[in-house]
Structure 1
């Protein structure tokens, strides 16, 4: 037995010596510098990134819109869209708009490039029946693109639908036909001034509606809320719940969260609360934890790194 232990110890030592020797390091360095195709992972854009149900609030504020969110595994991004003189611009306020920052340049074109990389056309993919999404670790995960219309929604909708045509033509958009949803790489959801009647009239539909989480039972809206119209439903956290995350949450506040979440889930709709507290940090984390414990589907976040590491 002692002999076996000594032999094992010697074997481990030799392996450690070999792995730390200049020869191995030089071998690795030579392979890396050779640009060998053996070391190139084809769909490396999101290699090793785990998708998470985080919503990138005001995503266009990022240093690099869309791609920064993807780097953290964020599954939902939000773009504020302004229709001005027939062009769709991106920004929080009119003072932030520039000729270069458009819906196409910041979202449509980068998505097309990312999805083209994830969906190569070759002998290995010839029998592929549905497109891959942006996440290499979860190709069936659809990225939510929330379009927050800031100008007149009825006027803007046709321009947005036209802007989506390249994604539509490539088969990258989730669609609903006769109430049946076919998931794809990108699910576009209108919010802000998106016109409910205009979205309801789309058939087939590849532009969905961000449902009113706190009003799904409101019969005056004459709407049947389900996933074919609204994959998600959202509400203002402060107005609906109001818990700051500093003191203990009350039973009534928790009941509000669970009631809204359960009502959405009963319709096949995911629940999102926006404008959750961002500071103090411990209060923000308490709210995030409570929402997840109560079944909410999305963390609405400005600090994507904190949410990704939560």
Structure 2
């Protein structure tokens, strides 16, 4: 299926207010992904202040609301996807002349549906349609880029999403699934492929990266990029130290698109050194 990347000039017109109200001049970091972003003191905002261009929010459908939290015990009625992410992003894009950062850069909102995938996605679809000028759209085989691209992870209703002729979200595939990675899939549905690092590799940053595993990593990235897909791993070491730095260095050298972390300042420092 063909994918046409279109810059929505209408966004700039609608959002065309002075960028003087924009947030700080922080340097956006294309590889920086905030894992479990909502657990930071200021969800989304802390990530933006550190230049992150991808953030992850876990959601549950509770009484018709999309509540954000890692576990059911964490949920609060005021902590909705809209209040923590969609509304702040809308306001920031409005102030920034149609962009999340002053410098044009792709921004990903990774939404992890924890349970009840079909019902939660159905409600999420309704919510995202309230933000048509904020979101990237898929329409009848074409992708029209907006300031923010929503990608669905977790309990993902693939068949439902694939059946939609118009949607405002995309599917997070699995690297280990041949139907998701590479030519067997379409970047118009699956622009991102992710997986658990420990299920694919034995190396955790200590000692030399085994040559066979380095080759495997680079083959994964090459296969994904050839199909227009981006790559992310979770469960990589994330405690400050030489092992984590070694992993991050190999991910960066291999061309992995999103480096997963809970340590916003640590990854920012690494990527800007």
Distance in 2 (CA, whole Å) between partners of 1:97 and 1:133 is 30
**1:182 maps to 2:144:** yes
Paired residue for 1:126? none
Structure 2 partner of 1:195: 157
TM-score, length of structure 2 as denominator length: 0.87
Q: Label 1:280 to 1:49 Cα distance change in 2 as closer, same or farther (>3 A).
A: closer
Counterpart residue number, 2:238: 278
User: How far apart in 2 are the matches of 1:162 and 1:224?
Assistant: 29
Partner SS, residue 167 of structure 2: coil
Report the secondary structure of 1:244's partner residue.
coil
Q: Which one has the bigger strand percentage?
A: 2
> Larger C-alpha radius of gyration, 1 or 2?
1
> In 2, Cα distance between the equivalents of 1:245 and 1:261?
19
Residue 210 (structure 2) pairs with residue 210 (structure 1): no
Match of 1:164 among 99, 107, 128: 128
Which of 49, 54, 69 matches 2:27? 49
Partner of 2:100: 134
Matches within 5 A, 1:1-310: 42-119=20-97, 132-136=98-102, 138-139=103-104, 141-168=105-132, 171-215=133-177, 217-218=178-179, 224-279=184-239, 281-310=241-270
Distance 1:292 1:259 in 2: 14
Relative to structure 1, the CA distance from residue 41 to residue 177 in structure 2 (aligned partners, 3 Å threshold; closer, same or farther) is closer
The verdict on how the C-alpha distance between 1:93 and 1:74 changes in structure 2, with shifts beyond 3 A counting, is same
Larger RCO: 1 or 2 (CA < 8 Å, sep 6+): 2
Distance in 2 separating the partners of 1:278 and 1:85: 35
Runs of 4+ in 1 over 6 A off after TM superposition: none
Q: Can you give the 5+ residue segments of structure 1 that lack an aligned partner in the other structure?
A: 1-39, 120-131
Q: CA deviation at 1:47?
A: 2.4
Task: Tell whether the 8 Å contact from 2:153 to 2:172 is kept in structure 1 after alignment.
Answer: yes
Residue ranges of structure 2 left out of the alignment (5+ in a row): 1-17
Q: What is the deviation of 1:218?
A: 4.0
3-state SS in 1 of match to 2:131: helix
Offset, 1:41: 6.5
In structure 1, the partner of 2:4 is none
Q: Secondary structure at the match of 2:202?
A: coil
Aligned-partner SS, 1:289: helix
- Cα root mean square deviation, aligned: 1.9
Give the Cα separation in 2 of the matches to 1:133 and 1:243. 38
8 A Cα contact 2:26 2:50, kept in partner: no
